[in-house]
Chains A and B, each alone.
Chain A
């Protein structure tokens, strides 16, 4: 019954997290398909239609560097975290850790007293 609102909320929830996951995955250089594979192996499922435009947007914002390379008989565009991207990833990771530790008990329904 509540599929549409759930899907919308899930999409909103995932949007920011996926950016973090992509930035974290691109500490090492990857091309589009290999990045998707790596994320899927890590348990983060994302479709091509969302991933490829997201990488381009992050590159346009200067968070990623890209380079065309020849490999296995054809060209691929490799992406990697830029210096700015690495700085932001560090800050975002701190934010994520802080949020996660705050939200965890809330989701489990624990009060302040129970936590201490």
Chain B
């Protein structure tokens, strides 16, 4: 009997406090019934046989879990909303981190490309840890209360099947990752162009030559359109004919500027810092290669979008 008591106590230890006594009392009654039934069949049973019976019932933790199965931190009904919130918030944080680190870099902080990437990753992860924890706790509380669930949320949204956009092709769906990467890139570019104007009191100087800066300044409205387009993509998450045409136009403008910049000096090189013609030539060559890569990527996207447009 002592073994039965110990078994029940072990199960109770794994149970929530308010259910311990009740489940323990019932479990004891059930076990004693089984022992009684065995004794009725084969007479007095030994401790070994009791142990065998308890083993067939399962490990105390398993039995406790069967009585009180663990509830997930976020219930299934809230999971789609939870994931969407997580992706959106993390995407926005990535954009904010890009702006912040670009600001620091343009403000004179000494960092190469690797340090820039490291600072960006570090800043993003710091914010992301907090956001992830806060969102998860928020949804855990909502799951606990069960006051709202996805079914309610969906039902309150007005929608009709007739108004759903047609999406026959899998490529028409735009991933959140693509949108936020695009947004971060565009905002980085805007900051690069306009930073000296935002910081008139500082001694920050543009990294571009006067001619490049003029070209890029005139190009800013195109970047603004691209940003607005990305924000619109966040709402629709689906490529339409109009959106494809706009993307082709924006990318065509990017291609022209990239080719133009490939053929002229882009970066203002401080000869006091970069001594020697070889070093300057390497920098100019690197910029040209970068422009070529940008032009190739943009050209690929234009061809891809034209093909998609023809197939729609």
Contacts and interface: CB of A to CB of B under 8 A. Distances in A.
B23 to A, nearest CB: 8
Contact of B34 (A33, A50, A53): A33
B27 A52 contact: yes
B211 interface: no
A37 B30 CA distance: 12
Interface stretch (B55-63, B149-157, B162-170, B174-182): B55-63
Interface residues of A, number: 15
Interface in A40-83: 48-50, 52-53, 56, 74-77
Given A49-B58, A52-B26, A31 B33 contact: yes
Contacts of A31: 29-30, 33
A32 interface: yes
Interface string A78-98: 000000000000000000000
Q: Of A37, A48, A76, which is in contact with the most chain B CB atoms at under 10 Å from its CB? A: A48
A34 B32 CA distance: 12
Contacts of A49: 57-58, 62-63, 66
Given A49-B58, A49-B62, A76 B27 contact: no
Contact of A56 (B26, B34, B37): B26
Contact of A77 (B26, B32, B37): B26
Contact of B37 (A33, A53, A74, A76): A33
Nearest to B62: A49
B67 A52 contact: yes
Q: Considering residues B25, B27, B30, B37, which has the most beta carbons from chain A within 10 angstroms of its beta carbon?
A: B30
A58 B67 CA distance: 12
Contacts of A77: 25-26, 29
Chain B at the A interface: SS class: helix
Given A33-B37, A48-B57, A53 B29 contact: no
A4 to B, nearest CB: 19
Contact of A33 (B23, B33, B58, B66): B33
B249 to A, nearest CB: 52
A74 B26 contact: no
Contacts of B37: 33, 37
A10 to B, nearest CB: 18
Interface centre among B23, B37, B62, B66, by most A CB within 10 Å? B66
Contact of B33 (A50, A53, A56, A76): A76
A31 B27 CA distance: 11
A75 B63 CA distance: 21
Contacts of A33: 30, 33-34, 37
A48 B32 contact: no
B66 A76 contact: no
Interface string B13-51: 000000000010111011011100100000000000000
Contacts of B67: 52-53, 56
A40 to B, nearest CB: 11
B173 to A, nearest CB: 31
B30 A52 contact: yes
5 contacts: A33-B30, A33-B33, A37-B37, A48-B34, A53-B67
